[in-house]
Amino acid sequence: MSLTSDQMELREDEIRKHYAAAAAMLEGFDHTPRIASAQAETAAPERSVGIGTRRRFRSTTPGLVTRSTARPEGVHLVARIEGADEDDPLTSPLQATAQHSLRRALAIALAVGEAFTETSGLTDLKRANLAGSLDAARKGEFTELLAAEALAVAHVFANAAVSLLAPHASETQAEVGEAEELLTDNAPLALHGALWELDQKLALHAPDDTALIAVISAYGEQLMEKAALRAQNAARLAPFTGAVWHVEADDLTIRGFEAASKAKSTTLTMAFKKPHEVVGNHIAKYQAMRLAKMLMAYDFDRRLNPFAEMGGFIFTFMGDGKPGTGKTTLIQMMAGLVNDYCQVAGYPFRYQNFGIDNIDSYQGKSGQNAKSFIQNVLDPGVIGFGTIDDIDQIAGKRGDRQSSAGQQEVTAVFMEAFAGANTVVRGNCTFGMFSNYPENVDDALRQRAGARFLVDGPQTREDYIDILTLLMGKNHEVPLGQHDLFSAQEIKRAVARSFEAHNQPQEPGLAEVFGRVHDRVGTLDTLAKLGTYLKAIQEADERFTGRAIKNITDAVKVRAMDFELPDEWMENPDLFLFKDYDAKCAMISDLRKPITTEMVIQEINRYADSEFRYADKSDEGAIDNMVRDFGRQEEAKRRYLEGKS
């Protein structure tokens, strides 16, 4: 892989010179925990009588005075790793891999830490501190730089370890809890704290070699998350976050506090569907097909999608419809398209579904599951597709007493991930929320769905003939009769009809608003008149806020990108997928269409129709519940009075 313009090479000799120090840390050191509590006994290395252990490493970092005080009861990761299979006296291949990967990760972290001290001026401050000549006015700066270096080194160590071990990971998963012993006094202490805690996690959760790799990777993920979280409020990190290092031998790119693990595809076992097997649902099918191709425009070097930068990319969408109208089929179609495109291009594809089984009774566990789901799909090293089926059952409404604590946790995580202060849309992934009862989804979470896919199933006579023929299969002798099979599913003609249907509102409440505004201002052909219409909608439904306007304008930009990337671009990656970022932008710009007034009106009506539909169903549901409650109260009163008489 060639370096991009914003990358610096972390040379091999700069890494290897830290091998001795890294090996010494793995062999043994002394550490007294400050934050976490010890839960496992230390692993003592075996010694033959009269044979000494390896020489302990003494740090030569200028300005940091350390003592070699490793005791037999200290941290001995090599011994811990080799003890993963107590019945075998020999080191297994996986144990050796773990040791080499940890040594390599430590060396890379120390090399990056060294580069940080040089570029930040920390080296001079360390020398002055060692000599006792550090100016009192600069002690605050010195402390802040030491903390920044510690956070950077801890994150790089975890990042490199996870990336190096990714090719050796199995399907085994490990739950190790959060990283606690993250110390920021200085870089060596940060690494000692991390290695001490890793030793504890291995003792508790790694009874064999398979679990060994899973535990190291899981702890690395937790340490990265904790370091990145702490970094949000830390000072003087610009020399680390503003630089990009590339390790050629490991194909590892270090970009600040971003995870850089080797991307793995998920093995999909679902039954994929072809577009013609999705009957009806024309707009939803069309947008899903276009979104599948949009994802493939993602540039792995720039880590950005031209559609995300130019507008028109769908980061989140909601598919709603009655039971049995084809939501699962739509998921199978889109996942199948992206999977096939990625196989042609050689891109890693990761599909993950968040279901009701991810809601846990333990406090905080549901939120952790949701975070893990989001992070797996967001991974900038993959093309990702995440689905949340039956989201009305998974994410609870805030203030709803019937929602469990786990459901409330999930709602908070999804709201932050989909449109929070730290949300970054790169264009490598998309999230689809599906529900039969979207009115039961929290209003704020539902409005974070940038696009609406109405999954209403077959509608016309032709649709019903097509779906009957499709589901009957070929093992029958019933004649087709007078019908042009699947011609009604011809996507462009069907989509044009579907969009034209939204020239007028579909929901009675919105139609009343539309008619009133039209009578007052005439044809909606200017931004001023369209704004008047939007304000009238807000007066009719106070939930129609600025976020709704953003979703509508995003949908209009999608319409401006109302073209399909040619199939040959997906079949031959050299034509488009393997082009550089600027070339992709130019090719997409040539296909872009101008925005028309008709597009804006249709998208306003499409979005507002869905909100009015949700509101009506939600209000009706609330009224029905109140009627049932009043009926129970009346019956209770009647029985109470009969009992007293």
Q: How far is 350 from 333, CA to CA, in rounded Å?
A: 15
- Check: CB of residue 453 under 8 Å from CB of residue 319: yes
C-alpha distances out from residue 20 to 56, 82, 155, 177, Å: 10, 19, 21, 31
DSSP-based three-state secondary structure for 177? coil
Helices (H) and strands (E) counted in the chain, each on its own, are: 24, 8
Give the pLDDT confidence score for residue 375 in this predicted structure. 84
What's the whole-number mean pLDDT along residues 267-293? 76
- What letter would DSSP give residue 318? E
- Check: CB of residue 389 under 8 Å from CB of residue 348: no
Q: How far is 467 from 311, CA to CA, in rounded Å?
A: 35
Tokens of 89: 């006296």
| pTM check: above 0.75 | no
The set of residues, in sequence order, having a beta carbon less than 8 Å from that of 476 and lying 6+ positions away, is none
Give the pLDDT confidence score for residue 321 in this predicted structure. 77
Give the pLDDT confidence score for residue 262 in this predicted structure. 54
Q: Which residue has the higher pLDDT, 587 or 495?
A: 587
pLDDT, tens only, 111-122: 999 999 999 999
- What letter would DSSP give residue 35? S
Give the pLDDT confidence score for residue 557 in this predicted structure. 81
Sign, CA torsion 84/88/91/97: negative
Q: How far is 226 from 237, CA to CA, in rounded Å?
A: 16
Quick one: what percent of the chain has pLDDT higher than 70?
87
- What letter would DSSP give residue 565? P
pLDDT, tens only, 83-100: 877 667 778 888 999 999
What's the whole-number mean pLDDT along residues 605-628? 72
187: confidence class by pLDDT, cuts 50, 70, 90: very high
Rg (CA), the chain: 30
What's the whole-number mean pLDDT along residues 289-303? 90
Closest CA relative to residue 452, chosen from 336, 611, 329:
611
Say whether pLDDT at 331 is over 60: yes
Angle between helical axes of 187-205 and 93-120 (0-180°, round to 10): 160
Tokens of 634: 């009346």
The full DSSP string for 178-234 is: -------S-HHHHHHHHHHHHHHHHHHH-SSHHHHHHHHHHHHHHHHHHHHHHHTT-
Closest CA relative to residue 534, chosen from 605, 484, 461, 474:
605
Q: How far is 158 from 194, CA to CA, in rounded Å?
A: 9
Q: How far is 151 from 313, CA to CA, in rounded Å?
A: 34
Q: How far is 143 from 527, CA to CA, in rounded Å?
A: 55
- Check: CB of residue 285 under 8 Å from CB of residue 420: no
Strand order in the sheet with 383-388: 349-354, 383-388, 429-435, 316-320, 451-454
Q: How far is 503 from 630, CA to CA, in rounded Å?
A: 42
Give the pLDDT confidence score for residue 171 in this predicted structure. 66
Q: What is the mean pLDDT of the chain?
A: 83
Q: b/e for 419-439, b at 16 or more Cβ within 10 A?
A: beeeeebbbbbbbbbbbbbbb
Say whether pLDDT at 532 is over 80: yes
566: confidence class by pLDDT, cuts 50, 70, 90: confident
What's the whole-number mean pLDDT along residues 57-67? 43
User: At 246, phi and psi to the nearest 5?
Assistant: -125, 130
Say whether pLDDT at 474 is over 90: no
Which residue has tokens 């109405």? 454
pLDDT, tens only, 379-427: 888 899 999 988 988 888 877 777 888 888 999 999 999 987 778 899 9
Q: Which residue has the higher pLDDT, 209 or 383?
A: 383
Quick one: what percent of the chain has pLDDT higher than 90?
36
Say whether pLDDT at 62 is over 60: no
The full DSSP string for 479-534 is: ---S--TTGGG-HHHHHHHHHHGGGS-SSHHHHHHHHHHHHHH-S--SHHHHHHHH
pLDDT, tens only, 212-228: 998 999 999 899 989 99
Sorted by where each starts, the structural domains of the chain and their CATH numbers stand as 8-31+73-255 (no CATH), 275-623 (3.40.50.300)
C-alpha count within 13 angstroms, C-beta hemisphere, residue 168: 23
Give the pLDDT confidence score for residue 51 in this predicted structure. 41
Say whether pLDDT at 244 is over 80: yes
Q: How far is CA 352 from the centre of its chain?
A: 10
Q: Point out the least confidently predicted range of 123-132, 163-172, 487-496, 631-640.
A: 487-496
- CB atoms under 10 Å from CB of 403, counted, come to 18
Tokens of 56: 């302990």
Which residue has tokens 């850089």? 260
DSSP-based three-state secondary structure for 299? strand
Give the pLDDT confidence score for residue 475 in this predicted structure. 81
DSSP-based three-state secondary structure for 353? strand
